[in-house]
Amino acid sequence: MTLTAPLLRALEGIVGPAGLVVSHEGLLTYECDMHTFYKGAPDAVVLPGSAQQVAAVVRLCRRERVPIVPRGSGTGLIGGAMAPAGGVMVSMTRMNRILELDFPNRCATVEPGLINLWLSQATRERGYFFAPDPSSQMVSSIGGNASTNAGGPHCLKYGITVNHVLGLEVVTGAGELVRLGGKIHERPGYDLTGVMVGAEGTLGLVTAVTVRLTHVPEGVKTILASFPTIEDASETVSAIIRAGIIPAALEMLDEVVIRAIEEGVGAGYPKGAGAVLLIELDGPAAEIEAQAAPIEAICRDHLALEIRVAKSEAERALLWKGRKEAAGVFGRLTPNWLLQDAVVPRSKLPQIMKELLAIGVRHRLVIANVFHAGDGNLHPLICYDDRVPGELERAKQANEELLSACLRLGGSVTGEHGVGLDKSGSLPMQFADADLNFMARLRRAFDPDGIMNPGKLLPSHPACGEGFRPIARPLPAGTWI
């Protein structure tokens, strides 16, 4: 769409000339987030400096019926921070201050553009941190984390972003600037904060976030256990949970990934390991000591080849290095891959691993696995070569089957990346028309004119699927999977 000159002038009047981007080159750089398959350049980008400016922009756009797409650091994996229908992109990157650290109330209020890790860095010395730790945390923003309800390896123990958001200041699609929740833990009325988290910018724009701060645990213990087969490792995960132990993090890598890591980074995994588990315990020192022993015993019961315990912070970093750089070394094994983000109930983990193997065999493709095993959140990587005719098609087919398999086992189409554009067509696999219709009407209550991030999250018609388009490009180390 073309924005009229008066509209552009009005936008400039709100955010100032330095806050408006209209050059062709500038808009080009905003046409996608990390999922570069989905491209859609906005017609203008504004970079507001305050909630009042955000509210004024929304009201203006509502009057003019112009769509709005919010954007944080642009590191999402679901085609969220791009503008398929053009319109005005609202970049929150300049609103990145810590507004208040309130240690007696164990909370902090921050602007949405603040980088996740920076909050923990600001509070760590005082003994606190912000618990949600998506792998993107060194660049993703807290507003973005809230909008997608981000997860991370430590959400197994600490919960996901919504469990740590006490309040939000938002501008709704109707243009209202309101404070929802806050440092006071309950308020009479509907839990609008809870609904806004994970709404992916379709209900309103977040202009401030009040989050829970968590006390830094007394101690941490990191264990790397290697197993002959992925089945042994999956059974070990199940056994640990059955024993009533919830580690702080429980991650798994399979032998395809292990091989790539050894070739690329060299984390020193033992030869012949079919899978490794990275288990982290944190909490009171006595507790982690007492939990480590049964965990090690369970590992040994499941034929662990080797159990390595980090004895220092440096060793701990080394054990995590392999996990964090896993995706980055894939270029050595395969020219292309598709990344999936799906969930199964924990108890179905051994079963889905078997099905993944079968799907790979059926389509003559290698499927590699590195993921958050503790909560059943899978990240299968389907390896293929787009120069080989038909291989991309087989990969896409495998992807569909994989998603169906997860759903059949009682899982979900997305564990932590969100829906965006990428999974909106898959929602009908998990929700009936009535359920999607309910969500659509909730959206209407916040955004009566449908200007907030249109086309995202909900399918355009409950019954229509748009086909799944996963990421098709090599991923670097530290990619958030």
Partner 1 sequence: MSQAAPGRVGSFEARDAPSMDGLRACVHCGICLPQCPTYRVLGEEMDSPRGRIYLMRAAAEGRLDLTPTLAHHLDLCLGCRACETACPSGVPFGQLLEATRGQLERRGVSAPGRDRSTLRFLLDLFPYPGRFGPMLHALRLYQLSGMQAIVRGFGLLAPFRKLQAMEALLPRVPLPAADLPEVIPARGRRHGRAGLLLGCVQRFFYPDVNADTARLLSASGWEVVVPRGQECCGALHLHAGQLDGFRAMARRLMPAFRDVDLVVVNAAGCGSALKEYGHWLADEESRAFSERVRDVSEVLADADLPLGPLRETVTYHDACHLAHGQRVRAQPRALLRRIPGLTLVELADAELCCGSAGVYNLLEPQMASELGRLKVARIRETGARTVVAANPGCLMQIRQHCRAAGLSVDVAHPVTLLARALEAR
Partner 2 sequence: MAVTAPALQEALADITGRDHLLRDPVPLAAHAVDGVTPAAVIRPGSGEEVGRVLALCAGERLALVARGSGRALALGNPPRRLDVVLDTGRLRTVRDYVPEDMVATVEAGVTLDALAAHLAPHRQTLALDPPGGGPRSIGGVLATHASGPLRFRYGTGRDLLLGVRFVQADGTLTWGGAKVVKSVTGYDIPKLLVGSLGTLGVIIEATLRLHPVPPASRSWRVGFPSADAARAGLAALLDSSLQPDRAALLDAAGLSRAGLPPDAVSLLVGVSSVLEAVESQGQALAQLARSHGGHAEVLPDAAWQGLGATVAAPVLLRLVAEPSRLLDGVVAARTAAARVGASASMLAQPGHGVLQLALWDVPDPARLSRDLILPLRSGLEAEGGSLVVERAPLELKASCEVWGAIDPETLEIMSRIKREFDPDGVLAPGRFVGGL
User: Which of residues 26, 49, 182, 450 is near partner 2 by CB under 8 A?
Assistant: 182
User: Which of residues 91, 109, 161, 426 is near partner 1 by CB under 8 A?
Assistant: 91
User: Whole-number minimum distance, CB 241 to partner 2, in Å?
Assistant: 6
Q: Beta strand 44-46 with 88-91: parallel, antiparallel or unpaired?
A: parallel
First to last CA, the chain: 35
Residues 286-345 that bind partner 2 (CB under 8 A): 286-287, 289-291, 343-345
User: Which of residues 2, 271, 441, 467 is near partner 2 by CB under 8 A?
Assistant: 441
User: Total residues contacting partner 1 (rule CB under 8 A)?
Assistant: 36
Residues 8-27 that bind partner 1 (CB under 8 A): 21, 23-26
Task: For residue 397, report the phi and psi dihedrals to the nearest 5 degrees.
Answer: -60, -45
259 exposure class (CB count in 10 Å sphere: 0-12, 13-18, 19+): middle
> Is residue 168 a contact point for partner 2 (CB under 8 A)?
no
Residues 346-365 that bind partner 2 (CB under 8 A): 346-347
User: Which of residues 106, 308, 316, 408 is near partner 2 by CB under 8 A?
Assistant: 106
User: Contact 116/105 with Cβ under 8 angstroms?
Assistant: no
Distances (CA, A) of 262 to 206, 270, 381: 42, 9, 18
Bridge partners, residue 45, by sequence: 21, 89
Q: For CA atoms 18, 22, 24, 29, give the dihedral sign.
A: positive
Residues 324-363 that bind partner 1 (CB under 8 A): 325, 328
Bridge partners, residue 69, by sequence: 89
User: Which of residues 53, 93, 238, 399 is near partner 1 by CB under 8 A?
Assistant: 93
Q: State the DSSP H helix or E strand holding residue 56, giving kind and residue range, or none if neither.
A: helix 51-63
User: Total residues contacting partner 2 (rule CB under 8 A)?
Assistant: 93
Residues 269-288 that bind partner 2 (CB under 8 A): 283-287
Helix intervals (H) in 36-154: 51-63, 116-123, 142-148
What one-letter code names the amino acid at 265?
V
Residues 8-47 that bind partner 2 (CB under 8 A): none
DSSP per-residue letters across 146-173:
HHHT---TTHHHH--GGGGEEEEEEEET
> Is residue 211 a contact point for partner 2 (CB under 8 A)?
no
Q: Which among partner 1, partner 2, none contacts residue 259 (Cβ within 5 to 8 A by kind)?
A: none
> Is residue 28 a contact point for partner 1 (CB under 8 A)?
yes
Q: Which among partner 2, partner 1, none contacts residue 474 (Cβ within 5 to 8 A by kind)?
A: partner 1
Q: Which among partner 2, partner 1, none contacts residue 187 (Cβ within 5 to 8 A by kind)?
A: partner 2
User: Contact 342/289 with Cβ under 8 angstroms?
Assistant: no
Instruction: Tell the residue number behind the tokens 């808009």, with chain if given.
Output: 27
- 129/480 with CB nearer partner 1: 480
Query: 5 by DSSP, 3-state: which?
Result: helix
* Alpha-carbon gap, residue 291 to 312, rounded angstroms: 18
User: Whole-number minimum distance, CB 180 to partner 2, in Å?
Assistant: 7
Contact pattern from residue 194 through residue 223 relative to partner 1, giving x for each residue in contact according to CB under 8 A and a dash for the rest: ------------------------------
Contact pattern from residue 44 through residue 83 relative to partner 1, giving x for each residue in contact according to CB under 8 A and a dash for the rest: -x-x-------------------------xxx--------
| Spatial CB neighbours of 28, under 8 Å, sequence gap ≥ 6 | 41
* Alpha-carbon gap, residue 122 to 127, rounded angstroms: 10
Query: Residues interacting with partner 1, by CB under 8 A?
Result: 21, 23-26, 28-30, 32-34, 36, 45, 47, 73-75, 91, 93-94, 96, 113, 115, 118, 136, 138-139, 325, 328, 473-479
